[in-house]
Structure 1
Amino acid sequence: MSELDWYLQINLKARHLRLLVTIDTYRNLTQVADVTHVTVPAVSKSLAELERGLGLTLFSRTAQGVLPTPYGECLIRHARSILSVLHQARDELKALSSGTEGKVHVGMLPASASVLLPHALSILKQRSPGTNVMVSEGTTSSLLPELWQGHLDLVVGRLPPPDTLGSFEEKELLEEPVMLMTGRHHPLARKKTLTWADLRSYPWILPPLGSILRDPLERALEAHEVPLTNNYIETLSIHVARAHLQVSDFIAVMSGIPANDPTHPFHVLPLSLPRLLRPTGVLWNRNRGLTPSARLMVSCLEEAAEQLTMGHEPGSGR
């Protein structure tokens, strides 16, 4: 066994990992000493002992503070991952000792999971009131790194292209067609017959540039000779889109809202779009596996998706 192997397997402690992450966060030993309630010499000594044990220089002292070397960046990345796993273990142990059944950290893509996830949460709470959930909204680019690092157990929403999955496992749950929608007061909602040309003069609520829907949507509209006007709003917020449709003559591209649902004051334009996106589903990190609570959440998502597909109200029974 080499000296490096011996130190990593025998002598490396959680306090070393916390020290690395804290130094990387602040890049200033005085601040590190303040937040850890020790002296600057004590911080320097601990770092020197760690570098000596590994036989590697982890940080460089510069005029801008202490900056990680490539060795430091490597170890810090793994330190954050290991500490995240330890925190998850702590949470599970606390849940078991307190009689609750665990906690699930779920990332939600709001534009595509705003119907499925609430129904699944309702089923979860009926099955297991002691299983608690923290939901964080975000984009694919913000949530997938959190999932990879272990800060999230699951990500629910429109599945990304297969070539971006890497170490993620996926389960398809629900086909939600993309629809063109307006408020019920919209002039197009009152037309008995509608053609693509009728859309040309109206403003749009669009997904932002770079989002997974924007490019295929633009291509589909171009195929029908519907150029986008310069009058538009860009948002991924389903709440903003719904609210604006009710008070404007905008057209929005939405999914997951039943066309005949009386609780939503929207009108679905009878124009068929091709399949622009992959189904809604759930992702997790296959290298970490799923906790019992996360497995239960996946099961509830599957049941909610099945009931939505069958037209039942999720959680109300068959």
Structure 2
Amino acid sequence: MYLDPRIKLRHLQTFAEVARLRSVGRAAERLAVSQPAVSKTLAELETILGASLMVRNRGGAVPTPIGQLFLTHAEASLAMLRHGVEAVAEGLAQTAVRLAIGCLPSVAARIVPDAAIVFAGLAPGATLSIVSGPNAFLLSELASGALDLVIGRMGPAEAMTRFSFSQLYSERIALVVRPGHPLEHETDAAAIADFPLLFPDENAAIRSIAEQFFVARGLRRRSERIETVADSFGRSFVRKTDAIWVISSGVVALDVAEGRLCELPIDMAGTSGPVGLTMRAEGEIPPVLRLFIQAVRDTVGRLALTDGRS
């Protein structure tokens, strides 16, 4: 028989506290809620179970025979939950837990900072080691055991046989320039052929997608092309030149939002690719890694990442 999903932790806590103190009022004080809230929670639990659990007499609020039977199991469940929470807390406090996380530059700029803040609240005793680099390098480090998790693009099919991949969101390519660039308001992709490019290098996960974009629009390859995904170099170079930076939108999202760089309003449909979590396929996921994954998913959900312009 499955546990009724309507039964919540607050139902068990409230019922056990009233039974222990023999008083709705004192239980309300203990739980820092109002008396009507306690009474309502008890009534909800009785409705769910289809049984009367408490009676009031001169001794206060006491369990019925059915209530006493349920109380035994409720207290045991609460005790086991407390032991579990304490075990996690003790494990984090007494053990130097270290996670090695690999991430693409776009993820390092957009997701990981907020996720690290959330994770610090979930696992204050853990240490994060953050490594950023090309997708192929990160996957090789994951395979060797040097990394516990990679947040990036899905690798080629032949490289993913040892891994599991879970998509978080899709991310497109952006064409980025300095404020005041001659093409700042240009919507015709053909216009970019007359300007130098910063293009993804051969190890970049977005290289093939960027190449396909240029081929599909008949854009010729320029001799004035620097190949890199080094974000610090890219930011500095495009601010000083008329070059156009071909880069994942997440890398420059904050720069564009704050007006330090501009994204050309050119249709980049078809340049999106999945960004997600890659782990080794074998073995159980350690609890502390599950907490970090939760922090990442919470961050992605809060930012509501889409393929559109934000």
* Structure 2 contact 187–267 (Cα < 8 Å) conserved: no
- 138-147 vs 117-126, which deviates more? 138-147
Larger mean Cα displacement after TM superposition, 293-302 or 136-145: 136-145
Tell me how far 1:158 sits from its aligned partner. Answer: 2.1
**1:45 paired residue number:** none
TM-score by length of 2: 0.63
Tell me the equivalent position of 1:146: 141
Structure 1 residue 156: Cα displacement? 1.1
The answer as to 2:242 corresponding to 1:249 is yes
Alignment pair present for 1:263 and 2:258? yes
Inter-CA distance 289–240: structure 2 relative to 1 (3 Å threshold): farther
Partner of 2:230: 237
Aligned to 1:308: 303
Give the corresponding residue for 1:218: 211
CA 1:120 to 1:289, structure 2 compared with 1: closer, same or farther past 3 Å? same
Partner of 1:125: 120
Cross-structure match for 1:196: 189
- Offset of residue 97 of structure 1: 7.9
Please give the per-residue CA displacement for 1:197-217, whole angstroms capped at 9, x wherever unaligned: 211110001111243322231
Mapped to 2, the partners of 1:224 and 1:97 lie a distance apart of 54
Q: CA deviation at 1:227?
A: 1.2
Which deviations, in whole Å up to 9, do the C-alpha atoms of 1:80-125 show, x marking residues without a partner? xxxxxxxxxxxxxxx9385357221111222444211122112111
1:71-86 equivalences under 5 Å are none
Cα 1:289–1:237 change in 2 (3 A) is farther
Instruction: Determine whether 1:279 maps to 2:281.
Output: no
State the secondary structure of the residue aligned to 1:180: strand
Give the corresponding residue for 2:80: none
Q: What is the TM-score when the length of structure 1 is the normalising length?
A: 0.61
Verify the 8 A CA contact 2:193 2:220 in the aligned structure 1: yes
Secondary structure of the residue aligned to 1:175 is strand
The residue type equivalent to 1:187 in the other structure is P
Q: Kindly state the Cα deviation for residue 281 of structure 1 after the two structures are TM-superposed.
A: 1.1
SS class of match (1:172): strand
**Pair 105,184 (structure 1): closer, same or farther in 2 beyond 3 Å:** same
Report the residue type matching 1:267 in the other structure: C
Is the 1:176–1:279 Cα contact (8 Å) retained in structure 2?
Answer: yes
Q: Whole-Å Cα distance in 1 between the matches of residues 284 and 135 of structure 2?
A: 20
Residues 114/260 of structure 1: CA separation in 2 closer, same or farther (3 Å cut): closer
Cα separation, partners in 2 of 1:199 and 1:259, compared to 1, 3 Å? farther
Determine the C-alpha separation between the residues in 1 that align with 2:256 and 2:197.
Answer: 22
**Superposition RMSD on alpha carbons, in Å?**
2.5
Deviation at 1:148, TM superposition (A): 1.7
The residue type paired with residue 173 of structure 2 is: V
Q: Contact 1:196–1:271 at 8 Å: present in 2 too?
A: yes
**What percent identity do the matched residue pairs reach?**
24
Larger CA Rg, structure 1 vs 2? 2
For residues 195 and 285 of structure 1, the distance between their equivalents in structure 2, rounded to whole angstroms, comes to 43
- 1:106 and 2:101 are equivalent in the alignment: yes
Structure 2: runs of 5+ lacking an equivalent: 1-89
SS of residue paired to 2:194: coil
Moved over 6 A (4+): none
Which whole-Å deviations, capped at 9, do the CAs of 1:52-100 have from their partners, x for residues lacking one? xxxxxxxxxxxxxxxxxxxxxxxxxxxxxxxxxxxxxxxxxxx938535
DSSP 3-state at the match of 1:246: helix
Contact (CA 8 Å) 2:256, 2:263: kept in 1 or not? no
CA-CA distance at 1:187 after TM superposition: 1.0
